[in-house]
Copies of this chain bind each other. A is one copy, B any other.
Amino acid sequence: MGLMEQLDIDAILTNVRDALSSGNWKQAVDIVEALRPQDQAEVFGDLPPREQDQLLPRLDIENSADILEELGEEDAAEVATRLEAGDLARILDEMEPDEAADLLGDIPPKQAMEVLAAMEDSEEVRSLLVHADETAGGLMTSVEVTLHKDFTVEGSIAHLRAVSPKSESVYYLFVVDEMHKLAGVVSLRQLVVSPPRSRIADIMNSDAVYVRVDADQEEAARLMSHYDLLALPVVDENDCLIGIITHDDLVEVLEEEATEDIYRLGGVADEQPANAPLSATLKARLPWLIVNLGTALAPAAVLSLFEDTIAQVAVLAAFFPVVAGVSGSAGTQTLTVIVRSLALGSIEPRDGLRALGKEVLNGVANGLAIGTLIALIAYVWKGTPVLGLVVGLATLLNMIGAGIAGVLVPLAMQLLKADPALASPILVTATSDAFGYLVYLSLATLTLGMLI
């Protein structure tokens, strides 16, 4: 058996390209078709467009469908856009209906209409196309087999054999009543191990977790992850079963949502891999930098207010990176924990007051530790005890302020129904910079006689 080893995708890619460039189509096809679908897509995605167009029509139609399913959304749309309507329709007929619908949504509408007209099974796909992308409806696929409450176990197995579903997603079989309302769920395991004459209604779990078609995809992911579900039924406003969301969609949503949070916390607008084109990268980053330029004007204005003090005691500037910078890091720590805890549901906005109290205490403790250290460093380095006191006290106060900002900024975002991760360290840093400079330079101005 071909047990799993780490594949050398680069070496495979070289072999495929060599075969293609010498016109040895069969060899290229054989190399690709020997791979698992996900690896086929990885190799295919790394080929230049011209070679993709040479290879695709020569592959088995099922392999073509697998590749378009497994390619990234944008790559798949690019390849599909270059195909004739008839060829694309034949490939889409082989794809999972939800993947086919997603792909049709990503190509030019005119081409999508032509392709739909040329498909054999366009009905299922058409019904999935109407749902918005980031909703449960946008994730779901159609149900291949449903059972009826009054079926027996052996009748159900016979039904299953007759339908002979292609998809593996039949580990849960959903049960409906005469109105097609969702009535319960039976696992394929239960079906196999239960006495053949039992009625489905007697062995099913009638307390199935479900989601409405217009719910957010994050809600669907949260339910599947909380209740350890492999598949989640999707119902319409009459509780009728209209689709299921499968586990591979859950994994994708979880990775997407984590990436989105990481990027937003890092000040990047859109999910952009490191190898995205420069124009996309600029579009995702420059707007945030301009916002940051705006927020940086707050601490800039504070510094400008105290020009006289700085001119008289220029040594004060040496401690800006600690008073403002280290406190900014403390604020970012708080922000990170609050944003992730909100995302995982381990705290709610109503826990805000308790979190605030804890972060103030945390700010006091960290501020005492870091403030004492920097006060000693300042005293030893510059030989002025009052400077040490001013730097240390400013650091303590700003640590507390940064902790408060780190709680309040994301909670305010959540209460305003925005993504807390959008708060981003930029706002917390600007706040703690401005507050830090204000406290530090005010203290310095008050003790000016002792610092000069």
Contact = CB atoms under 8 A, between A and B. Distances in A.
B304 A336 contact: no
A187 B275 CA distance: 37
Given A192-B160, A340-B262, A346-B275, A230 B228 contact: no
B332 A267 contact: yes
A395 B1 CA distance: 59
A451 interface: no
A197 interface: no
A263 B321 contact: no
B209 A275 contact: no
A411 to B, nearest CB: 10
Given A265-B262, A278-B358, A336-B267, A321 B296 contact: yes
Contacts of A310: 310-311, 314, 317
Interface residues of A, number: 121
A1 B168 contact: no
A351 B259 CA distance: 20
Nearest to A42: B226
Given A346-B274, A433-B325, A4 B285 contact: no
Contacts of A268: 333, 336-337
Contacts of A188: 171, 188-189, 192
Nearest to A308: B314
A249 B381 CA distance: 53
A268 B340 CA distance: 12
Contact of A326 (B225, B261, B262, B289): B289
A80 to B, nearest CB: 21
B274 A333 contact: no
A189 B210 contact: no
Given A329-B289, A337-B273, A370-B289, A303 B320 contact: yes
Interface in A176-199: 182-184, 187-189, 191-193
Interface stretch (A12-20, A57-65, A122-130, A250-258): A250-258
B274 A2 contact: no
A201 to B, nearest CB: 11
A136 B208 CA distance: 31
Contacts of A267: 329, 332-333, 336
A247 interface: yes
Interface string A355-375: 100100110011001100110
Q: Name the residue among A263, A285, A314 with the largest chain B CB count within 10 angstroms.
A: A314
Given A2-B207, A255-B254, A285-B366, A337 B300 contact: no
A3 B235 CA distance: 11
Interface in A375-390: 377
A288 interface: yes
A171 B265 contact: no
A350 to B, nearest CB: 9
A244 B259 CA distance: 28
A210 B341 CA distance: 34
9 closest cross-chain pairs (CB), A and B: A266-B336, A258-B258, A311-B314, A274-B341, A304-B318, A296-B321, A307-B314, A310-B314, A299-B321
